[in-house]
Copies of this chain bind each other. A is one copy, B any other.
Amino acid sequence: EADIAAGEETYQGVCRNCHGPKAQGIASYPRLSDKDADYLTERLERYRDGEKIGPNSMLMIPHAKELSDADIANLAGYITTAFD
């Protein structure tokens, strides 16, 4: 069961700086509020493994490395419910 409050704290502490306060996306940093939990989880896990996926991998990999499985689940839970 995702801890939405913990997800919010992580998101608003780090992710919002590029993805925006409402996960709406800014410039080349993609919108997340339209993504589902499986997509978000899979991307974060791949970045965490150091996989170069998109153009911003060099930015995402160091941040994703900080995340535990619980952090990822909480983020996905927050992003997929907070901005409907």
Residues of chain A whose beta carbon lies under 8 Å from any beta carbon of chain B = 13-14, 17-18, 56, 58-59, 62-63, 65-66
- 11 A-B contacts (beta carbon < 8 Å): A13-B58, A14-B58, A14-B59, A17-B18, A17-B56, A17-B59, A59-B63, A62-B62, A62-B63, A62-B65, A62-B66
**Bound complex: CA A17 to CA B59 (Å):** 8
Could you tell me the distance in whole angstroms from the C-beta of A61 to the nearest C-beta in chain B? 8
Interfacial chain B residues near A63, Cβ < 8 Å: 59, 62
**Bound complex: CA A76 to CA B7 (Å):** 35
Could you tell me the distance in whole angstroms from the C-beta of A64 to the nearest C-beta in chain B? 9
**Bound complex: CA A16 to CA B82 (Å):** 30
Interfacial chain B residues near A17, Cβ < 8 Å: 18, 56, 59
